[in-house]
Each structure stands twice: as C-alpha cells, then as structure tokens.
C-alpha cells in the first residue's frame, strides 16, 4: 500500500499597525517588548493600540510607549497598558 501525502500550503496574510494619536504606522517587526516601525516624527511617551490582522481576523490591544517614538530610530519600546 502506498500512502498518499497531501501538502496543502498556506501563507497567512499578516498586517500589523501601531496607532498613536489617530495616526497609523506600519509595524515591520514585533517582539515581546518592542516594535520596528517607519519613524515619521518624534512623539513623546504615549498610549497606543496595536492592530494585528491574520487572514482578516483582527485583534487589538493597548500598549504604552514609555520612551515615545524617535524619528532617529525605527525601534519603539512597548509596555502593556494598565
């Protein structure tokens, strides 16, 4: 008997955004306590929302940006919002 193998591949469609003061920035990479975004402007420490969409299913959560955003760096420190 020959076993039939079925390899159904799937590439998830993933989108990540950081929303700060009503403006959305694309997240290029996310870690447990940081994100990499395209730096657009200097922003002071603030509350923000991360939006993660995988294959159209969206999840949102609040975070703090304890160091804000610097236009000199694409790495943004995160802390969970209380």
* Cα→Cα distances 54→10, 11, 32, 33, Å: 12, 10, 18, 20
Q: What is the pLDDT of residue 38?
A: 83
pLDDT means over runs of 10, the chain (82 residues): 67 93 92 89 93 96 95 92 70
Supply φ then ψ for residue 69, to 5 degrees.
-125, 135
Radius of gyration of the chain (CA): 17
CA distance linking residue 51 with residue 73, whole number of Å: 21
Q: What is the pLDDT of residue 40?
A: 74
CA-closest candidate to residue 61, choices 47, 75, 51, 46: 51
Domain spans of the chain, in order of start: 14-80
Q: What is the pLDDT of residue 80?
A: 81
Q: What is the pLDDT of residue 67?
A: 95
């Amino acid at each position: 008997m020959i076993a039939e193998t079925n390899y159904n591949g799937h590439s998830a469609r993933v989108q990540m955004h950081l929303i700060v003061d009503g403006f959305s920035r694309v997240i290029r990479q996310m870690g447990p306590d940081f994100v990499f975004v395209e730096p657009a402007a200097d922003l002071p420490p603030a509350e923000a929302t991360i939006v993660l969409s995988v294959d159209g299913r969206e999840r949102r959560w609040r975070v703090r940006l304890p160091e804000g955003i610097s236009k000199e760096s694409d790495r943004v420190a995160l802390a969970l919002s209380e």
